[in-house]
Amino acid sequence: MNTAVFARWVGEIDRTVRAEKERLTRLDAAIGDADHGANLERGFRAVTQALADDEPATPGALLRLVGSTLIRKVGGASGPLYGTAFLEAGKALGETPQVSVTELTRALEAGLAGIQRLGAAVEGDKTMVDALAPAIRALAGAAREGAGRREALDAAASAAVAGAEATIPMLARKGRASYLGPRSVGHEDPGAASAALMLTALCTAAAASDEPREG
C-alpha cells in the first residue's frame, strides 16, 4: 500500500464520518457528551485540508500529519486518542514508501499501544479498544496465514464491527460513560463505533485501489 492508498483511506474516513455523524452523536448522547460525531467531522475536515496543503510523500508522514492535526483540532477525548493512534502508527511506518499487511499490522499495534497508554483502557472497558484490538488480531492472523491484502483487511473490518457491537452489553469502566454505572449497559460505545467505521474505511480504500483504472 502506497501513500495514495492511505490518502484515499483518510478521504473515506472523512466521507464516512460525515455520513454517520448523527448516528455517532446519538450513541454519544446516550452515554457521553453528544459531541463525538461533531468532533470527528471537524477533525477530519481539518485533516483533509492539511493533506491538501502538505501532500506528504510517504504513508508514515501522512499518518503523522493526520495525528498531529487531530490532536490540535479535536476536543474531548477523541482528538488526543485518535491523534495519538495515527501519530504512533506513522512513527512505526517510518519513511517506507510501500506498506505490507505485516507492516500495517505493526503500525496499528503501535497506534493501539498509544491509545492504551493515554487512556489506560483494556478490552472489556467499553471503549474504542474493544473494536481496535480484535481488528488488529484478525489482521495479524490473516497475515500469518498468507491471506491477500483484501482478505486480511476484510477480516480486520469485520472484527472491528463485531467488537463495537459487543460493547452494547458491557458496563463502562473508562471515560464519561463510566460515571453512569449500570445505565451504560445496553448502549454501543461511540468510540468503538467510530473505530469500526475507520477500519471499514481502510478496507474500502484499499479495495478501490485494486480496481482497474479506465483509459
The owner of cell 506528504 is: 56
Report the distance separating Cα 193 and Cα 200, nearest Å.
Answer: 11
Total domain count for the chain? 1
Q: Take residue 208 and report the three cell numbers written for it.
A: 478501490
Which pLDDT band, with edges at 50, 70 and 90, does 96 fall under?
very high
Report the distance separating Cα 138 and Cα 142, nearest Å.
Answer: 6
Q: For residue 11, what is the DSSP state? A: H
Q: What is the pLDDT of residue 208?
A: 81
What number is the average pLDDT over the span 122-140?
A: 97
Q: What is the pLDDT of residue 213?
A: 40
- CATH at residue 132: 1.25.40.340
Residue 73 counted as domain residue: yes
pLDDT tens, residue by residue, 29-64: 999 889 999 999 999 999 999 999 988 999 999 999
Residue 214 counted as domain residue: no
Q: What is the pLDDT of residue 117?
A: 95
Q: What is the pLDDT of residue 215?
A: 32
| 207 pLDDT higher than 80 | yes
CB contact burial 168-184 (16+ within 10 A = b; e otherwise): eebebebbebeeeeeeb
What number is the average pLDDT over the span 116-124?
A: 94
Residue 131 counted as domain residue: yes
> Contact, 115 vs 81, CB < 8 A?
yes
| 212 pLDDT higher than 60 | no
| 10 pLDDT higher than 80 | yes
The owner of cell 502538505 is: 54
User: What is the reported pTM?
Assistant: 0.93
What mean pLDDT value characterizes the chain? 93
Report the distance separating Cα 103 and Cα 107, nearest Å.
Answer: 6
User: Pseudo-torsion of CA 100, 105, 106, 111, nearest 10°?
Assistant: 130
Residue 107 counted as domain residue: yes
Residue 21 counted as domain residue: yes
What percentage of the chain reaches a pLDDT higher than 70? 97
The DSSP result for 147-198, as a single string, is --HHHHHHHHHHHHHHHHHTTTTPPP-STGGGGGGGGGTTS--HHHHHHHHH
What percentage of the chain reaches a pLDDT higher than 90? 85
What number is the average pLDDT over the span 93-108?
A: 96
Question: Angle at the Cα of 165 (from 159 to 170), degrees rounded to 5?
Answer: 120
pLDDT tens, residue by residue, 159-185: 999 999 999 999 999 888 888 899 999
Q: What is the pLDDT of residue 179?
A: 87
Q: Is 65 helix (H, G, I), strand (E, B) or coil?
A: helix
* Domain carrying residue 187: 3-209
Task: Write the CB contacts of 136 (distance below 8 Å, at least 6 apart in sequence).
Answer: 105, 108, 109, 112, 156
Task: Write the CB contacts of 66 (distance below 8 Å, at least 6 apart in sequence).
Answer: 10, 47, 50, 51, 83, 86, 90
